[in-house]
Chain A
Amino acid sequence: MILNIFGFLMMAFSAMALGLLFIGIARKVVARVQKRIGPPFYQPYLDVLKLFTKNSITHGFIFDFGAIMAFGGMITTLFFVPVGPFVLYGMNGTLLLVIYLMAVAYLGMAMATVGSGNPLASVGISRALTQMLGYELPFIVVLLTLIYSSNTSSIIGIVQAQQSGFMNWNLINIPIGTAVAFIALLGLMGKKPFDAPVAPSEIASGPVVEHGGKYLAFIMLQHAVSVVVKTALFVDLFLGGGNNIFIFIVKMLIVWLLAALIGSIFPRFKVEEGVLFYWRWPLIAALLQAVIIIF
């Protein structure tokens, strides 16, 4: 029992550390793309530490509860995603559960915006929830295809189905679906072509507009964990997972850097353009892939 709790805590803290490291590396890489020197790779750690030393102001109980719900929802999602050899839950249906749990973080943020009462925050969160309608549809179609082709809806089962070699990866088996899922992943992580929810120059960083000090630190940690969760999910589903934690982290880093590089060269979609984009080409491609796999 005690050992279990210790394991959960270790996993949460190492995911935060890893996510902050990933964000720092991506900032450095994007800076090099733009011919800048860029901040040191450990800058996100310093940012979070600094935010914890600042004073912070609350806007009531709902505001506090929303921040904790966003953070806790993301940590809970982490426990259901296998990261390399660390598998906490392996039962059937974890894939569907993870899709539902990922929405909890957004709902927590929505709660915090209600508490803060700032109109820019409401605009931001409504954009985030609208965009969720966009990317979830093609993503769900790809996941159903995946469940059909590997005959299981547990993530660890899908990983085990791809074990014996590179040719068994879902990247090779369902290539169009992988591409669609990657585009959906950009929306899931709020990377550049689909970052209308947090657009700093239009709506002053959207949902986090009233978060200062320790609240912003929690939101940054939540973002760090979400990077780990979403890249780990993609690696589990399409890139064959990994028995070795180092190989798994390298795969995650490749996915994350690819997303960062794509983000560094594209401008952002308006939110309705983003949703329409998702409902047009990725959805058609996902349905085509489903038809190919089923028949």
Chain B
Amino acid sequence: MNNKYESNKWQEVINWVQKRSLFMLHYCTGCGAIELPPTMTSRYDMSRFGIGPAATPRQADILLITGYLSTKTLRRVIYTYEQMQDPKFVMGFGSCTINGGMYWDSYNTIKQLDKYIPVDLYIAGCMPRPEAILEGFLKLKEKIETGNADGYKKYNKEYETYKKNQEKVLGEVKRRQ
């Protein structure tokens, strides 16, 4: 486990608690939204892992980006991400967030989500089934426990790089807290 950031016993306890209680905010841009209701409800029931849906960015721990992002929606995702409180984790969902997927040659969508906000975990597939989403959540919990889900620290540290990338596609981004 190559943990880049120092951790101590107290941090381990915090990680242990955070791993077991995660509130998820899903940003449903495209077709990916349809896979989430079965994941939440009786058939696959993600609440048995301690993961529940959150209503607002203020309350959320996980930001789940389900599908492609146009330049218009990317701006909203950045606002949402910056409104969330540390520690926060981003999951990219579907191949659109990895390399553009079926929108690889679109003039209006972004190809790599990782350039604009730090992504802790990708779930590949088009679309990933609810089993794959649950598998992704379990992987994320493992990463949180070992302290490797540190995208938010990376965002704070390399903020200038991310800001430059964001402004390259969006023009000006108004920062709000």
A27 and B84 CA atoms in complex are apart in Å by 26
A31-B47, A46-B17, A46-B50 as given contacts; A209 in contact with B85, CB under 8 Å: no
CA distance A49 to B21 in the complex (A): 9
Query: Which of B18, B53, B59 neighbours the largest number of chain A CB atoms within 10 Å of its CB?
Result: B59
Closest to B44 in A: A36
**Are B85 and A213 in contact, with the CB atoms below 8 A?**
yes
* Chain A residues with CB under 8 A of B138: none
Q: Is A164 among interface residues, defined by CB-CB distance under 8 A? A: no
Considering only residues 209-231 of chain A, those with a C-beta below 8 Å from chain B are 209-213, 216
The B interface is mostly helix, strand or loop, or mixed, namely: loop
A212 touches B59 (CB 8 A): yes
Interface residues on chain B, number (Cβ under 8 Å): 24
Shortest A20–chain B CB gap in Å is: 12
Please pick, from A27, A37, A39, A204, the residue contacting B55 in the complex, using a CB distance under 8 A: A204
One digit per residue, 1 when the CB lies within 8 angstroms of any chain A CB and 0 when it does not, for chain B 96-108 equals: 0000000000000
User: Which residues 26-55 in B have Cβ within 8 Å of A in the complex?
Assistant: 41-42, 45, 47-48, 50, 52-53, 55
Tell me the chain B residues, 81-134 only, with Cβ under 8 Å from chain A: 84-87
Known: A39-B48, A39-B50, A49-B17. A54 touches B56 (CB 8 A): no
Query: A53: which of B18, B42, B177 is its contact (CB, 8 Å)?
Result: B18
The verdict on A37 contacting B45 (CB below 8 Å), with A210-B58, A213-B85 known, is yes
A36 touches B59 (CB 8 A): no
Residues of A within 8 A of B42 (CB): 34-36
A243 and B147 CA atoms in complex are apart in Å by: 50
Give per-residue flags for A167-186: 1 if the beta carbon is below 8 A from chain B beta carbons, else 0.
00000000000000000000
CB distance from A138 to the nearest CB of B (A): 31
9 pairs of A and B residues whose beta carbons are closest in the complex: A212-B58, A205-B55, A204-B55, A50-B21, A46-B21, A36-B45, A37-B48, A55-B85, A200-B55
Taking beta carbons and an 8 Å cutoff, which residues of B are in contact with A? Answer: 14, 17-18, 20-21, 41-42, 45, 47-48, 50, 52-53, 55-59, 61, 84-87, 177
Q: List 17 A-B contacts (CB under 8 A).
A: A31-B45, A34-B41, A37-B48, A38-B48, A39-B50, A43-B50, A46-B17, A46-B20, A50-B18, A53-B14, A54-B87, A56-B85, A200-B55, A205-B55, A210-B56, A212-B56, A212-B58
